[in-house]
Amino acid sequence: MSTFARNFFAAISNPKYYLFMTAFLPQFTDGTRSVAPQYGILAATIVAIDVSVMTIYALVGVHFLGLWKATGRIWLQRVSGTLLLALAGYVALYGGGAL
């Protein structure tokens, strides 16, 4: 199975997405009109935005892949670790209130 197919099936089997959309989409529909075309337009809009963002994300990743050799990976781990420790310290001191 290809990487795309494996990730696609993992994404569509995520129930959180369907629960979120069930709560989110009705706010943007008109109850006096047919719902199916409205949901079709909303679905097409969401797919277009998602594909655009994921394409940009992939292109940026491919571009920076060559730059992140061994030393880049080490610095990424150091920065990420430092930020996670800072976040943990903040949560420990302030109880995780609004960031």
Predicted confidence (pLDDT) per residue in 74-84, tens digit: 888 899 999 99
Q: Do residues 98 and 79 both lie within one domain?
A: yes
Distance CA 72, CA 69 (A): 5
* pTM beyond cutoff 0.85: no
Q: Do residues 49 and 94 both lie within one domain?
A: no
pLDDT band at 99 (very low <50, low <70, confident <90, very high): low
Q: Do residues 18 and 59 both lie within one domain?
A: yes
Q: Do residues 31 and 61 both lie within one domain?
A: yes
List the Cα angle 10/57/40 in 5-degree steps.
60
Q: Do residues 73 and 41 both lie within one domain?
A: no
Domain tally, the chain: 2
Distance CA 75, CA 91 (A): 24
Q: Do residues 41 and 76 both lie within one domain?
A: no
Q: Do residues 73 and 58 both lie within one domain?
A: no
Q: Residue 96 has what pLDDT?
A: 64
The domain in which residue 16 lies consists of 3-67
